[in-house]
């Protein structure tokens, strides 16, 4: 074939594959077998590899994602992504209808839509091709997650037909169906990772993954429901979204146009019970004025459209008996009470346990063993007790009392001022804390050692591993001698432990499990301090000068390194060959304008973003302070500066720089 013939064949293959993709994922009506589809896809992939000049980011071959790891870019929304006002009962819906009719002077048609419980997305198409996908963010700016969105098979990369606007944005909700959610949590459990709390959190977390190849495996889905600012396609919203379905967008079949607010209420009553049969989560109904002209007349408030409202379903509630309360000890030593219940059906699942959170919740509820309690499922895996039926309380029932000593090691519990949880302070000898620390250390975000929770349990119970440093003393002969370990699995574990020594400083730091030091904080600290030695000797005042490090985190870091047992642990890890030194090479300063100076930024700016200002400060020798203190050299102040920061700046006599004054200081130098 000539090059032009190859190009035409590639275009034809892409069109054919998109057609089959749409039939399979959007219409649930596959037109060819998986084998035939894969054969066509492989042919297209081979041609694209041979003729890279015909590459297209919207090709069906890009659905698998990429292994590239890139930070997300912030993108401003052309149209702000506003939220909806919420209603919770018929009266509030009637009030909404009254306001609409009063403003318009007439009755209206409404569109009722399922309120999908996922994460909002705005996708721009140019000439029928997917150009950019941006998350809600703060409503004004969001993350560019285009690479990840391209992997979602229900989102069209190329539109069908030719009557769409040249450029437009369409908005939808990215969700995780129940089947995908259950599969992912089963896989996480096998790896010893914490399961996602609910499909919404899982969908949001998946969309923010840095590896789009991993996103592609998760099984995300997307429903579309709105086109902001687009040329009026039809007279009504219902008609416009129905038309958008013809272009390849997945628009819910449950969307319905109705003639009155009473019809809206009937729609809500139907789905309040039927929603449990859906293969995904929905937490309410969205009600919209259908007429595009009427929407324009009604307009927007600063935060919400006047022509739409969300009706939130009440969380389903059941009554069952409280059998007992057990107390679980976590990795950080936090003691969490869990209610054990007489099994009861709730929101489509059998519930046997409910979270009680802390001692204050128990006291507030006034719980007694044997009480009939009201249980609610508000989006979490473990439901919660929200009340007690006092009329059904029998005589002589014992009140639930929070423990004074750790249920695992017997150590007296402590509760810090201002905190709700009780803690076991015996972090180096309390079994669940030790095992929890090891599980945290080997997790993917930390050292990424391939071992499940059951493996950690086995290594601990055998006496081979009592802390994370012991992992690096393990011998193949010791592991293969354990029950359920064959030569291959034992070798895989040893090799994975050895490979973990190559993990960067920030992952090793996160793996230590210092309280309040999450993955992001660990990265900030590893950038600010070149190695573990300089970090371990840092004073609280020095730590708080690091961006986003407050007093609580600083004190926790200081306390951790003050403990001799932790110092000994780190020495062992260093001897084992772990990387506790930053690989990043500091860029040469552009000038010394702020050499030795600490600058705090507050407010919003016209010419540059806060991140750009931070980069400029560091490029000119300065450091970023997260809070105002006597060590602050300058306050760079924009509009809407925090009043507490302003008050402290004036009190301490710290010079205030406007954005223009700041830029002038850099340019002068």
Name the DSSP class of 305.
Answer: B
DSSP H helix total and E strand total for the chain: 24, 21
Is it true that domain 431-502 has CATH number 1.10.150.20?
yes
Contact 613, 605 (CB under 8 A): yes
Q: How far apart are CA 460 and CA 435, in angstroms?
A: 7
Question: Among positive and negative, which fits the CA dihedral 471, 473, 476, 482?
Answer: negative
**Sorting pLDDT into bands at 50, 70 and 90, what band is 650?**
confident
The segment with the largest mean pLDDT, out of 53-62, 432-441, 658-667, is 432-441
What is 598-668's CATH number? 3.40.50.10190
Q: Cα 12 vs. chain centroid, distance in angstroms?
A: 38
The CA angle 117-177-59, to the nearest 5 degrees, is: 105
The 3-state DSSP class for residue 571 equals helix
Q: How far apart are CA 207 and CA 135, in angstroms?
A: 9
The segment with the largest mean pLDDT, out of 63-77, 556-570, 636-650, is 556-570
pLDDT of residue 205: 86
What is 505-576's CATH number? 1.10.150.20
Task: Please list, in sequence order, all residues whose beta carbon lies within 8 angstroms of the beta carbon of residue 509, skipping any fewer than 6 positions away.
Answer: 517, 522, 525, 526, 532, 535, 580
The 3-state DSSP class for residue 542 equals helix
- Average pLDDT of the residues in 653-666: 90
**118 CB neighbour count, 10 Å cutoff:** 26
> With pLDDT > 90 as the criterion, what percentage of the chain qualifies?
54
C-alpha gyration radius of the chain: 29
pLDDT of residue 591: 84
pLDDT of residue 250: 96
Q: Which is the CATH superfamily of the domain at 317-392?
A: Nucleic acid-binding proteins (2.40.50.140)
pLDDT of residue 226: 94
**Residue 115 is among the residues annotated as catalytic for this protein:** yes
Q: How far apart are CA 151 and CA 212, in angstroms?
A: 7
What is 86-312's CATH number? 3.30.470.30
- Average pLDDT of the residues in 117-129: 94
Arithmetic mean of pLDDT over the chain? 88
pLDDT digits 0-9 by tens, 196-236: 777 888 898 889 887 888 898 899 999 999 999 765 677 89
- Average pLDDT of the residues in 391-420: 92
In this structure, the chain runs to a length of 669
pLDDT of residue 51: 87
25: pLDDT strictly greater than 70 = no
Contact 189, 439 (CB under 8 A): no
Q: Cα 384 vs. chain centroid, distance in angstroms?
A: 22
295: pLDDT strictly greater than 50 = yes
Contact 194, 188 (CB under 8 A): yes
Structural fold of domain 3-64: Helix Hairpins (1.10.287)
- Average pLDDT of the residues in 376-394: 80
Contact 142, 61 (CB under 8 A): no
Q: Are strands 334-346 and 317-329 parallel, antiparallel or unpaired?
A: antiparallel
Identical fold between 3-64 and 86-312: no
Contact 548, 517 (CB under 8 A): no
Listing DSSP states for 75-94 in one string gives EE-SS------EE-SHHHHH
pLDDT of residue 492: 94
pLDDT digits 0-9 by tens, 93-103: 999 999 999 99
pLDDT digits 0-9 by tens, 470-491: 999 999 999 999 998 999 999 9
User: For the chain, which residues make up each domain, given as ranges?
Assistant: 3-64, 86-312, 317-392, 431-502, 505-576, 598-668
Q: Are strands 119-126 and 256-258 parallel, antiparallel or unpaired?
A: unpaired
- Average pLDDT of the residues in 90-118: 95
Q: How far apart are CA 431 and CA 463, in angstroms?
A: 12
pLDDT digits 0-9 by tens, 560-589: 999 999 999 999 999 999 999 987 544 566
Sheet with 167-175: list strands edge to edge: 129-135, 119-126, 167-175, 221-226
The CA angle 635-638-643, to the nearest 5 degrees, is: 70
**Sorting pLDDT into bands at 50, 70 and 90, what band is 67?**
very low
Q: How far apart are CA 82 and CA 86, in angstroms?
A: 13
pLDDT of residue 63: 67
**Sorting pLDDT into bands at 50, 70 and 90, what band is 314?**
confident
Q: Cα 259 vs. chain centroid, distance in angstroms?
A: 39
pLDDT of residue 621: 85
The one catalytic residue in 115, 250, 377, 437 is 115
């Amino acid at each position: 074939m000539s090059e032009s013939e190859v190009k035409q064949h590639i275009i034809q293959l892409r069109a054919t594959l998109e057609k089959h993709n749409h039939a399979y994922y959007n219409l649930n009506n596959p037109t060819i077998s998986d084998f035939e589809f894969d054969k066509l896809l492989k042919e297209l992939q081979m041609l694209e590899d041979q003729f890279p000049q015909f590459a297209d980011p919207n090709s069906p071959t890009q659905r698998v994602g990429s292994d590239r790891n890139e930070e997300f870019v912030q993108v401003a929304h052309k149209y702000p992504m506003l939220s909806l006002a919420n209603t919770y009962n018929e009266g509030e819906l009637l009030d909404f209808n009254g306001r609409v009719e009063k403003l318009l002077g007439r009755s209206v048609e409404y569109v009722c839509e399922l309120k999908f419980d996922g994460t909002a997305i705005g996708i721009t198409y140019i000439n029928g091709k997917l150009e950019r996908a941006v998350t809600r963010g703060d409503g004004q700016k969001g993350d560019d997650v285009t690479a990840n969105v391209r992997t979602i098979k229900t989102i069209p990369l190329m539109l069908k037909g030719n009557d769409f606007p040249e450029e437009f944005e369409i908005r939808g909700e990215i969700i995780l169906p129940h089947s995908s959610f259950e599969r992912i949590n089963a896989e996480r459990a096998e790896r010893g990772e914490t399961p996602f709390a609910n499909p919404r959190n899982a969908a949001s977390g998946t969309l923010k993954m840095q590896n789009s190849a991993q996103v592609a495996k998760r099984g995300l889905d997307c429903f579309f429901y709105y086109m902001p600012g687009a040329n009026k396609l039809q007279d009504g919203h219902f008609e416009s979204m129905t038309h958008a379905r013809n272009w390849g967008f997945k628009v819910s079949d449950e969307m319905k146009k109705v003639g009155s607010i009473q019809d809206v209420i009937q729609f809500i009553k139907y789905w309040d019970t039927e929603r449990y049969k859906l293969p995904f989560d929905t937490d309410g109904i969205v009600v919209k004025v259908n007429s595009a002209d009427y929407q324009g007349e009604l307009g927007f408030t600063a935060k919400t459209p006047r022509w739409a409202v969300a009706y939130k379903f009440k969380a389903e509630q059941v009554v069952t008996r409280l059998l007992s309360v057990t107390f679980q000890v976590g990795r950080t030593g936090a003691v969490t009470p869990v209610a054990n219940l007489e099994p009861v059906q709730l929101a489509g699942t059998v519930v046997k346990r409910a979270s009680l959170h802390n001692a204050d919740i128990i006291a507030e509820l006034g719980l007694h063993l044997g009480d009939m309690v009201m249980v609610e499922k508000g989006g979490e895996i473990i439901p919660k007790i929200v009340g007690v039926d006092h009329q059904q309380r029998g005589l002589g029932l014992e009140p639930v009392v929070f423990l004074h000593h750790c249920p695992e090691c017997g150590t007296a519990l402590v509760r810090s001022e201002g905190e709700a949880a009780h803690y076991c302070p015996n972090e180096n000898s309390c079994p669940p804390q030790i095992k929890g620390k090891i599980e945290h250390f080997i997790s993917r975000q930390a050292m990424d050692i391939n071992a499940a929770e059951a493996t950690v349990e086995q290594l601990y119970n055998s006496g081979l591993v009592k802390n994370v440093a012991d992992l690096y003393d393990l011998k193949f002969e010791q592991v293969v001698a354990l029950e359920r370990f064959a030569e291959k699995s034992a070798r895989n574990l040893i090799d994975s432990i050895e490979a973990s020594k190559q993990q960067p400083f920030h992952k090793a730091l996160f793996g230590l499990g210092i309280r309040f030091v999450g993955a992001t904080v660990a990265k900030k600290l590893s950038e600010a301090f070149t190695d573990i030695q300089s970090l371990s000797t840092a004073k609280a005042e020095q730590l708080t000068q690091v961006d986003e490090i407050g007093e609580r985190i600083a004190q926790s870091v200081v306390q951790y390194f003050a403990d001799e047992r932790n110092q000994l642990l780190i020495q062992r890890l260093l001897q084992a060959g772990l990387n506790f030194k930053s690989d990043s090479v500091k860029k040469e300063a552009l000038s010394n304008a702020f050499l030795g100076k600490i600058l705090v930024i507050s407010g919003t700016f016209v010419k540059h973003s806060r991140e750009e200002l931070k980069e400029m400060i560091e490029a000119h020798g300065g450091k970023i302070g997260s809070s105002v203190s006597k060590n602050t050299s300058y306050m760079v102040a924009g509009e809407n500066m925090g009043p507490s920061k302003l008050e402290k700046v004036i009190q301490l006599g710290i010079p205030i720089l406007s954005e223009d004054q700041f830029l002038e200081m850099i340019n002068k130098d």
